Amino acid sequence: MPNALALLALVVWPLVTVVLFQKLPPGRAVIATLLMGFLFLPEPPAGFDFPLLPPLTKHTIPALSAFFMWYWMYPHDFRPLPRSPVAVSLLLLFIFSPIITALTNMHPVVWGDFVIQAMTIKDSIGFVIQQILLVIPFLLARRFLTRAEDQRDLMYAFMIGGLVYSFPMLVEIRLSPQLNLWIYGYYQHDFVQTIRFGGFRPMVFLYHGITAAFFLLLSILAAFALWKTQKIKSKWMLFGAAVYLTGVLVLAKSLGAWLFAAVLIPSIVVLGTRWQLRLAVCIAAFAITYPALKGVGLVPETAILEAAASIDPDRAASLEFRFMNENRLLDRAQEKPLFGWGNYDRNQIMNPANGVIETITDGRWIIVIGQLGWLGFLAEFGVLVLPVFLLWREVRHRAADDYSLLIAPLSLMLAVNVFELLPNATLTPLTWLMAGALTGYAEALRDGRGAYEPKERLAWRTVL
């Protein structure tokens, strides 16, 4: 169980957010609040569970704190919704579709002698609040990270965050993942899953070693992108940071992150901006169409498993187990295709003889389709991939001097993060942050200007 320090860190974070917004420009304050909270605050079960509300954790407290600072410091410029009608429609569907999910699941699910409870109106309210909390980083980034300078700040923040995080990661590679236990008093995940390739896979203060490795991948891609695009005297330092982080990623023992790095690092270093954007569009399109392709049997599972077995038989066995569960869960989801089964594990398959849940949900996509249906999936994944397509529409006929060169690698980073949601549930505030930043920049380009000029900062007001 989390110790007092874990809860204290969560309680203090809103005060940290206040200080950051007072000392930094709003864009940097948003980045610092969400990124530092994501990296250093304790993972659930550390949090606060109030009646009628989803648990307040490291994934929601920083975002909610920054959201309130937005309202208090810029009340006359508080326009949270995007200007794109498609983005607004997807957001509203994302937030409010759980109401229909609850209304269509107000009967218990019976498995033999075992019963899973029905959903209620109270559940729908909690679900809607949860969706709002999830999307706040997107709204913040879409408002405050709309300039080319903000894209640069975000990439530098990823790189610096990776450099800072690499040191505790190296400690855990050597000693095994222990820092969360030593500091916050508990293991955030199954320790067995940290053992890979005869060593340890670090987690630090994140939920899983996969999450830590994927963040390190984002840091590496950001470092290589900055090295390629920034015209500064110390470019060699950026290249050195990128190479160093790549070495740490190799030691982190995450096969998925290795494969992504093998494809994306050369893409960023060699390809031009337009080809990077084309690749990002292809990855994003595949990510959002994968469930449909899988549903009609067009995903070559056998070939994928054979390729994985040639690299690591254990990983191939794990992937085969995931495919099996996905197929069973997809069949279950087809019984309520539009709005899903809701919560309480109603989307899972239960053994009617002993009441044990027989299926495991790994990928974010199958979780969302099972709980909120195909419309819920299209809403969530649509909001995440839409900025990639919006940017491609805006820049394909523009000269390279008319837009930030960093939007291409950032689009690749977002697209591969959404792709990663197929095998894993690595949806984090950083995913929403990238999507919001790119959406805001696409809106700025749409308006015919390459930069966002914030209004004069209003005097900060307190509740006192």
- Does one domain contain both 317 and 444? yes
Q: Are residues 91 and 228 part of one domain?
A: no
Q: Is the pLDDT of residue 273 over 80?
A: yes
Report d(CA 21, CA 459) in Å as an integer: 12
Share of residues in the chain with pLDDT > 70 (%): 96
Task: Give me the number of domains the chain comprises.
Answer: 3
3-state secondary structure of 203: coil
Whether 180 and 106 share a structural domain? no
pLDDT at position 453 over 70: no
Q: What is the pLDDT of residues 412-431, one digit of tens each?
A: 999 999 999 998 888 999 99
Q: Are residues 178 and 214 in the same domain?
A: yes
Q: pLDDT higher for 288 or 296?
A: 288
Least confident of 53-67, 72-86, 432-446: 72-86
Question: Average pLDDT, whole number, for the chain?
Answer: 89
What pLDDT shows up at residue 459? 41
Q: Within a domain: residue 282? A: no
**Span of 203-207, 283-287, 318-322, 385-389 with lowest mean pLDDT:** 318-322
pLDDT at 277 over 90: yes
Kindly state the percentage of the chain with pLDDT values over 90: 63
pLDDT given at position 457:
42
pLDDT of residue 317 exceeding 60? yes
Dump pLDDT digits (tens) for 112-145: 889 999 999 888 998 999 999 999 999 999 999 9
Give domain status of residue 353, yes or no.
yes
| CA distances in angstroms from 337 to 3, 125, 389, listed in the order given | 42, 21, 26
Note the pLDDT of residue 109: 92
More confident residue, 390 or 300: 390
Listed residue (131, 87, 170) closest to 376, CA to CA: 131
The answer on pLDDT for 452 being more than 70 is: no
Q: How confident is the model at residue 295 (pLDDT cuts 50, 70, 90)?
A: confident
Distance CA 246, CA 335 (A): 45
Q: What angle do CA 308, 309, 313 make, to 5 degrees?
A: 115
Whether residue 6 is found in the same domain as residue 122: no
Quick one: average pLDDT of 291-305? 83
pLDDT for residue 80: 84
- Picking from 375, 401, 391, the residue whose alpha carbon sits closest to that of residue 434 is 391
In this structure, the answer to whether residues 109 and 242 fall within a common structural domain is no
Q: Three-state DSSP class for 294?
A: helix
Residue 464 has pLDDT above 70, yes or no: no
Per-residue pLDDT, 267:
95
170-179 mean pLDDT? 92
**Which of 38, 59, 78 is the C-terminal boundary of a domain?**
78
Identify whether residues 33 and 102 lie together within a single domain: no
- 459 or 366, greater pLDDT: 366
- Burial profile 347-378: b = 16 or more Cβ within 10 angstroms, e = fewer: bbebeeeeeeeebebbbbbbbbbbbbbbbbbb
State pTM to two decimals.
0.91
> Would you say 156 and 149 are in contact if contact means Cβ atoms under 8 Å apart?
no
Residues 162 and 45 in one domain: no
Where residue 197 falls among pLDDT bands split at 50, 70, 90? confident
On whether both 249 and 177 belong to a single domain, the answer is yes
Residue 16 domain boundaries: 1-78
* pLDDT above 60: residue 454: no
Reported as a single tens digit per residue, the pLDDT across 218-235 is 999 999 999 998 888 788
- For residue 277, tell me if it sits in a domain: no
The reply to whether 435 and 315 lie within a common domain is yes
pLDDT at 338: 93
183 within domain boundaries? yes
On whether residue 279 sits in a domain, the answer given is no
